[in-house]
Copies of this chain bind each other. A is one copy, B any other.
Amino acid sequence: MSQRPLDIGWLRIFEAAGRLGSLTRAAHELGLTQPAVTYQIKRVEEQLGVSLLRRSQGGSRLTDAGEILFQAVQSSVESIDKATHDTRRTSKVPAVRIFTDFGFAAFWLMPRVTDFRRLHPEAEVHIVASQGLEDALERDTDAAMLFGAREDFPDTARLLIPECVVPVCTPGFLERFGPFNDPADFASAPLLHLETTGKSRWLTWATWLAAFGVTRPRAQGDLGLNTYGFIIQAALAEQGLALGWRGLVDHHLDLGSLVAVGPEVTRKDRGYWLVPSPTASSTTSTLLDWLINET
């Protein structure tokens, strides 16, 4: 990759001439001939209608007008050269920016990105987590991973994990409040609710219980928390029963810190979808393909 400064025409020529006080030395520094420098500066003077240099056989000096323009041009050359260096440095390691919710970021995406970076140490992945996802597809990110139904996303979206939910709690909680052999048994235990603004896209306890013919309004011992991370933390603290999404709680189920204590409810038309940006870099494509194949 070239490290040459950008070609910015007469700006660099005039800056050199002003700084060196000599058209000939400026030409030498820039790899041009002296008439080329003379020609360029003369052209600027014609456009401006003002003399920029006082020429003599001993070299050249800036006029008052030349001094004014020189200040502006010199700072411009400096700042463009700095920006050139900065853009080349930052783009050497193309970053992949992925937009998703906090829960998915923490429990599904972060562990996998950690694994991916073990294979691609040079890759830089930025996870942009947010609560409000309404404008997710407007964000200037390389990909978005969002929960919803098929019709919520463009045709280019691919299903990462379908929604498959199972009630979970710690073994200790199970001993104290269990067993939960019948869905009706859940109605008497404290439940952990994910609070969302507006209508929830995710399965709720109310929906889960209704799938088994149980109607149970929000009880006094229930807890409402506004991020899925807090839900899992509360469950681990034995504050209640949580709904566990396959994919997000797998790690805790594997460790045994949480156990599945009820039947699974699956909504195959809903789940986490991968929505790639139209203009994805090669690193982005590599990561997304890897994530899909890992699942």
User: Measuring CB to CB, which residues of chain A are less than 8 angstroms from any residue of chain B?
Assistant: 1-2, 4, 6-11, 44, 47-52, 54-56, 61, 64-66, 68-69, 71-73, 75-76, 79-80, 82-84, 86-88, 90-91, 95, 140, 278-279
Contact = CB atoms under 8 A, between A and B. Distances in A.
Given A44-B6, A47-B6, A56 B87 contact: no
A98 to B, nearest CB: 15
* Residue among A51, A52, A76 facing the most chain B CB atoms (10 A cut-off): A76
Nearest to A55: B279
Contacts of A61: 140
Contacts of A71: 83
11 contacts: A6-B44, A49-B88, A49-B91, A54-B279, A61-B140, A64-B95, A65-B90, A68-B87, A72-B80, A73-B80, A75-B76
Contact of A68 (B48, B49, B90): B90
Given A72-B79, A72-B82, A79-B76, A65 B47 contact: no
Contacts of A56: 278-279
B49 A1 contact: yes
Q: Which 4 A-B pairs have the closest CB atoms?
A: A76-B76, A72-B83, A65-B87, A1-B49
Contacts of A64: 90-91, 95
Nearest to A69: B83
A127 to B, nearest CB: 16
Contacts of A2: 47, 49
Contacts of A86: 68
Given A56-B278, A65-B90, 13 more contacts: A1-B49, A4-B47, A6-B44, A48-B88, A55-B279, A64-B95, A66-B87, A68-B87, A69-B83, A69-B87, A72-B80, A72-B82, A76-B79
